[in-house]
């Protein structure tokens, strides 16, 4: 897709979506990191229900590092995959204490060195916590970008490469376009039964125009 058409899509989304921001609740970079790790395979709504209770009791790397696996599992149980998530969160908190002076690091390579932190989580931290250009790609962004024809990717990593290339002259837009496409995927261009008939992007959408 040419970048002029791609920018038109982002402009339409920007007019349509009111608050293109994360829906996770947090009050520090560490809380955000915990919430993003918990959000894998889980809705932000459920993560917020869990963290509202969790963060009242524990919300620093040192506190998380001192928790037992069983204690943390019980607190995060509703988020699913609680065994691995608890293991990673405790290991991640320990590494933050030992190597990063109890602070969440602000560069990509340090972020992905933390247990439980992959490309997507690191990129979310970059845009939300540190205002650094990145395009985190999750399942919604992967699906919507391919449907629209912004990308033609087989993996989330390839999708990220294609999006950063397509919008390479608009780095200041990266964080915002991540939230715009993600929220559009979450509420409109859903995995099952996307709302094509009333879609504001249908004139520009490869998937819709292929269907005829
Ligand atoms: S027309 Fe359908 S597939 Fe295309 S962006 Fe809109 S909802 Fe998604």
| Residues 181 and 159 occupy one common structural domain | yes
Q: Give every CB contact of residue 186 below 8 A, 6+ residues apart in sequence.
A: 140
Mutate to test the pocket of ligand 1, among 142, 143, 205 (most ligand atoms within 8 A of CB): 205
| Residues 144 and 186 occupy one common structural domain | yes
5 is catalytic: no
> Of 86, 106, 129, at which residue does a domain stop?
129
| Residues 124 and 160 occupy one common structural domain | no
**Number of domains forming the structure of the chain:** 2
Q: Atom of ligand 1 at shortest distance to CA of 205?
A: 4
pLDDT of residue 1: 86
pLDDT of residue 65: 98
pLDDT of residue 212: 53
| Residues 33 and 98 occupy one common structural domain | yes
| Residues 140 and 115 occupy one common structural domain | no
Mutate to test the pocket of ligand 1, among 202, 209, 210 (most ligand atoms within 8 A of CB): 202
Cα angle: 183, vertex 31, 45; to 5 degrees: 40
| Residues 149 and 194 occupy one common structural domain | yes
pLDDT of residue 73: 98
CA distances from 27 to 33, 126, 128 (A): 11, 16, 12
What are the tokens at 165?
Answer: 């290339």
138 is catalytic: yes
pLDDT of residue 211: 63
Whole-model pTM: value is 0.95
Q: Do residues 89 and 34 lie in contact, with contact meaning Cβ atoms separated by under 8 Å?
A: yes
Q: String of b and e for 69-103 (b: at least 16 CB within 10 Å)?
A: eeebbebbeebeebeebbebbbebbbbbbeeeeee
Alpha-carbon span 17 to 142, nearest angstrom: 19
pLDDT of residue 2: 87
> Of 111, 129, 147, at which residue does a domain stop?
129
- Selecting among 44, 57, 85, 120, the annotated active-site residue is 120
Residue 168 lies in domain: 3-20+135-211
CATH number at 86 reads: 1.10.340.30
| Residues 180 and 88 occupy one common structural domain | no
| Residues 188 and 118 occupy one common structural domain | no
- Selecting among 18, 107, 138, 154, the annotated active-site residue is 138
CATH number at 195 reads: 1.10.1670.10
Alpha-carbon span 131 to 15, nearest angstrom: 22
pLDDT of residue 118: 96
CB atoms within 10 A of CB 2: 8
> Of 107, 129, 151, at which residue does a domain stop?
129
Q: Do residues 146 and 152 lie in contact, with contact meaning Cβ atoms separated by under 8 Å?
A: yes
Helix, strand, coil percentages in the chain from 3-state DSSP, rounded to 5: 65, 0, 35
| Residues 202 and 170 occupy one common structural domain | yes
Per-residue pLDDT of the chain (212 residues; tens, 9 = 90+): 888 999 999 999 999 999 999 999 999 999 999 999 999 999 999 999 999 999 999 999 999 999 999 999 999 999 999 999 999 999 999 999 999 999 999 999 999 999 999 999 999 999 999 999 999 999 999 999 999 999 999 999 999 999 999 999 999 999 999 999 999 999 999 999 999 999 999 999 999 998 65
């Amino acid at each position: 897709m040419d970048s002029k058409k791609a920018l038109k899509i982002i402009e339409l989304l920007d007019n349509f979506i009111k608050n293109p921001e994360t829906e996770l609740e947090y009050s520090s970079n560490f809380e955000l990191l915990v919430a993003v790790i918990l959000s894998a395979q889980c809705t932000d709504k459920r993560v917020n229900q869990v963290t509202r209770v969790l963060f009242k009791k524990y919300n620093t790397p040192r506190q998380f590092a001192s928790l037992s696996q069983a204690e943390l599992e019980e607190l995060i149980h509703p988020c699913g995959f609680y065994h691995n998530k608890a293991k990673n969160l405790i290991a991640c908190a320990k590494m933050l204490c030992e190597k990063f002076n109890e602070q969440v690091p602000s560069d990509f390579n340090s972020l992905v060195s933390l247990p439980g932190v992959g490309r997507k989580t690191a990129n979310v931290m970059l845009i939300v916590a540190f205002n650094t250009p990145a395009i985190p790609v999750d399942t919604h962004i992967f699906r919507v970008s391919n449907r629209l024809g912004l990308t033609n990717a087989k993996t989330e990593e390839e999708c990220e490469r294609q999006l950063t290339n397509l919008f390479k002259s608009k780095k200041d837009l990266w964080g915002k376009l991540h939230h715009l496409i993600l929220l559009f995927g979450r509420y409109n261009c859903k995995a099952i039964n996307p709302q094509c008939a009333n879609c504001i992007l249908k004139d520009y959408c490869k998937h819709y125009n292929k269907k005829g």
